[in-house]
A and B are shown apart, each in its own frame.
Chain A
Amino acid sequence: MRRDKYLLALIGLTAVSMIASLYLVFVYVPTERTMGLVQRIFYFHVPSAWVGFLAFLVAFVAGIAYLARRDWRWDVAEATSVEIGIAFSTIALVTGSLWARPTWNTWWTWDPRLTTTLVLWLYYVSMLLLRQMIENKERQARFSAVLSIVGFVNVPIVFLTIRLWRTIHPVLFTSEGFALESSMLLTLLVSLLTFTLLYFCLLWLRVRQEYLRAEIDRMKDQLLSAS
């Protein structure tokens, strides 16, 4: 494919950024005083949660674009983004749980961010299940576009509801700026960049795979109708 050299460049950039963040996380950044070594999971936990959220945002935008334009490529972007979003929310939930055990002394708590992530995870997994149960391609695309829009609109509402209910999760970004030491902030920002680049690599590869699949299907049809 023509754009493959851009894809290679993106993968290269991601690799460099990945090595840089690994260095920062394991060598450069000082160990946090009260929580100790386990706090380093933070630099994977926060970026995973962010990418999960970003992926669902992309799916929301692609869903709207599909309903407006009816181009199957928007549907591919939406469905693949949801897949990646589920993978990263799973990582965020697991790393969060591992971190919560030594610091909060519990594996799980019904905090707004945790609960919202879990609710999103459940919803989008159900959405992919529904996709698989519809044979008609066009209907599949239409339904999942509507579902990705409804799901994302619900995010702030779920979050506010549970915040009204209870919270113990630390707030990193307050109105006065970041509540983080500068070396830790740098590490976090580089990790966020790495994970975001990784997301776009994965999205590109998945979308490319789906295009190739469509191309093969088209060629098969051509061959069958010719013979």
Chain B
Amino acid sequence: MSTWRTVIAIVAKDVASELRSKETLSTLLIFALLIMVVFNFAFELRVENVRQIAPGVLWVAFTFSGILSLNRSFVVEREEGCIEGLRLTPVDRGAIYLGKFVGNTLFMLAAEVCILPLFAVLFDVSVLNPTLWLIVVLGTVGFAAVGTLFAAMTVNTRAREAMLPLLLFPITVPVLIAATKATGQILDGQPFAEISAWLRLLVAFDAIFTVIAWLGFEYVLEE
């Protein structure tokens, strides 16, 4: 099987099982909504203008809920021994990584598409901006690229779910800063030239870490 067909097969498998159970997406959505509501309560009492903290809240909601999705993607593989099955298939390990990575990105994006309108309502901002969508996609890709690699490791440890955020958040600090800054600049209505430095940074992070995670995955999966 060619690499691309393997990738598509793995993504299709994940999407099909998700469409049947709807477990990941529903927990993701509720959790992200909960984060935005909690932050609204926590800050409304002190901050003059809640719109100022809107970009930060949005990205905290995206990344915290993303952790759930990433953990879930390998926990289900492990539960039924599916990961052993994947390991035994005569395909390139890199293709397995790409399949899981694309699947994770899709789940996170699907949840984010639902969160954005709620965000617009709760913080009274406009999210009808293609540049904002681009930032959301780039940030999510960067987060999922490293997250998929780390989730494959942490699922094999005693603490399982608890270890993933500890490792993932320090590494994705650049993504969080760049995405939050760029989102803020868009919501303030600044010109594209101001935002392009952050966009370039996001693209560079995505490119570097997709390649590194793709190379590293081979060593993580071998037994």
Counting CB contacts under 8 A, is B20 at the interface?
no
Assembly CA distance A122 to B171 (angstroms): 10
Contact A150 B212 (CB under 8 A): yes
Using a Cβ cutoff of 8 Å, how many contacts connect chains A and B? 85
Counting CB contacts under 8 A, is B107 at the interface?
no
Counting CB contacts under 8 A, is B59 at the interface?
no
Counting CB contacts under 8 A, is A173 at the interface?
no
Contact B149 A161 (CB under 8 A): no
Counting CB contacts under 8 A, is B56 at the interface?
no
Counting CB contacts under 8 A, is B113 at the interface?
no
Q: Nearest chain A CB to B157's CB is how many angstroms away? A: 4
Assembly CA distance A150 to B167 (angstroms): 10
Contact A150 B216 (CB under 8 A): yes
Counting CB contacts under 8 A, is A146 at the interface?
yes
Partner of B157, one of A134, A151, A160, A164: A134
Which residues does chain B contribute within 8 Å of A142, judged by CB atoms? 219-220, 222
Which residue of chain B is the closest to A126 with respect to CB atoms? B166
Contact B181 A165 (CB under 8 A): yes
Which residue of chain A is the closest to B180 with respect to CB atoms? A165
Partner of A162, one of B177, B198, B216, B219: B177
Which residues, 185 to 203 on B, are CB-close (under 8 Å) to A? 197-198, 201
Which residues, 75 to 115 on A, are CB-close (under 8 Å) to B? 115
Partner of A160, one of B149, B163, B201, B212: B201
Which residues does chain A contribute within 8 Å of B153, judged by CB atoms? 130, 143, 146-147
Which residues does chain B contribute within 8 Å of A149, judged by CB atoms? 212, 216
Given the contacts A146-B153, A150-B149, A154-B171, A165 and B177 also touching, CB distance less than 8 Å:
yes
Partner of B219, one of A67, A120, A154: A67
Which residues does chain B contribute within 8 Å of A164, judged by CB atoms? 197-198, 201
Assembly CA distance A165 to B180 (angstroms): 11
Which residue of chain A is the closest to B220 with respect to CB atoms? A146
Contact A122 B220 (CB under 8 A): no
B209-220 interface code vs A (CB 8 A; 1 in, 0 out) = 100110010011
Which residues, 137 to 189 on B, are CB-close (under 8 Å) to A? 146, 149, 153-154, 156-159, 163, 166-167, 169-171, 173-174, 177-178, 181
Which residues does chain B contribute within 8 Å of A146, judged by CB atoms? 149, 153, 216, 219-220
Counting CB contacts under 8 A, is B62 at the interface?
no
Counting CB contacts under 8 A, is B114 at the interface?
no
Q: Nearest chain B CB to A93's CB is how many angstroms away? A: 14
Interface of chain A: mostly helix, strand, loop or mixed = helix
Partner of A147, one of B167, B174, B208: B167
Which residues does chain A contribute within 8 Å of B154, judged by CB atoms? 130
Assembly CA distance A133 to B155 (angstroms): 11
Assembly CA distance A150 to B177 (angstroms): 19
Can you list 30 A-B pairs with a CB-CB distance of less than 8 A?
A115-B173, A122-B166, A122-B169, A123-B171, A126-B163, A126-B166, A126-B167, A127-B167, A129-B166, A130-B153, A130-B154, A133-B157, A133-B163, A134-B157, A142-B219, A143-B156, A146-B216, A146-B219, A147-B153, A147-B167, A149-B212, A150-B171, A150-B212, A153-B208, A153-B212, A154-B174, A158-B173, A161-B174, A164-B198, A164-B201
3 nearest CB pairs, A to B:
A123-B170, A126-B166, A133-B157
Chain B residues in the interface with A (C-beta under 8 A): 146, 149, 153-154, 156-159, 163, 166-167, 169-171, 173-174, 177-178, 181, 197-198, 201, 204-205, 208-209, 212-213, 216, 219-220, 222-223
